């Protein structure tokens, strides 16, 4: 095997002025876990939604899971920019996430409510990350978290508006 293929990823010290990179990277990793779980849940609801609002919900969830999938990459790359390793095991993603699965297949309305509640919980976690990042001189993470929180708040609003 080539020596180039034997390189194992490791944590690195980053001297950009950001303090407490370990805690910030952990917060980002937790939100990456939430993003992955919510991507899958949204995609699964996208595949299985039925009823008179099928097309609208199918298109809305497609837009949302595509945004979430792209966001996962941004979050992981920010973890790496802070010198830490991004999560690399599915069991770590599942255990770190606040997103939970339903016990039974929900109705279209229940899907909307469930996803709206998940988006609100994730937005709340992003708000906490914003505070942590600002306290530790990390405006880049604070900006990323602000952008992601805005997405989740808008997604929750749109999903709640369907069931109002």
Q: Domains in the chain, start-ordered, CATH in brackets? A: 18-96+107-163 (1.20.1260.10)
Q: Residue range 4-31: average pLDDT? A: 92
Compute the average pLDDT of residues 55-63. Answer: 98
pLDDT in tens, 61-100: 999 999 999 999 999 999 999 999 999 999 999 999 999 9
Q: Residue 71 contacts by C-beta under 8 Å, 6 or more apart in sequence?
A: 35, 148, 151
| Cα–Cα nearest to 42, from 69, 65, 12 | 65
The mean predicted confidence, pLDDT, of the chain is 96
Quickly state the pLDDT bin for 110 (edges 50, 70, 90): very high
pTM attached to this predicted model? 0.94
Separation CA 57–CA 59 (nearest Å): 5
Cβ atoms of 32 and 87 closer than 8 Å: yes
**Closest-CA residue to 63 (of 100, 115, 113):** 115
CA distance 87 to 79: 9
pLDDT computed for residue 5 by the predictor:
85
């Amino acid at each position: 095997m080539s020596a180039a293929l034997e390189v194992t990823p490791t944590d690195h010290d980053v001297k950009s002025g950001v303090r407490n990179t370990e805690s910030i990277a952990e917060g980002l990793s937790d939100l990456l876990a939430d993003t992955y779980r919510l991507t899958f849940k949204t995609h699964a609801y996208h595949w299985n939604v039925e009823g008179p609002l099928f097309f609208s919900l199918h298109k809305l969830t497609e837009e949302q899971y595509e945004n979430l999938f792209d966001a996962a990459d941004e979050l992981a790359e920010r973890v790496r920019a802070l010198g830490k390793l991004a999560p690399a095991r599915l069991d770590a993603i599942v255990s770190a996430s606040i997103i939970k699965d339903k016990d039974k297949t929900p109705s279209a309305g229940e899907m909307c409510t469930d996803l709206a509640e998940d988006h609100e919980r994730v937005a709340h976690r992003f708000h906490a990350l914003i505070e942590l990042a600002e306290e530790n001189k990390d405006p880049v993470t604070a900006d990323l978290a602000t952008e992601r929180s805005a997405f989740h708040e808008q997604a929750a609003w749109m999903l709640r508006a369907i069931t109002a």
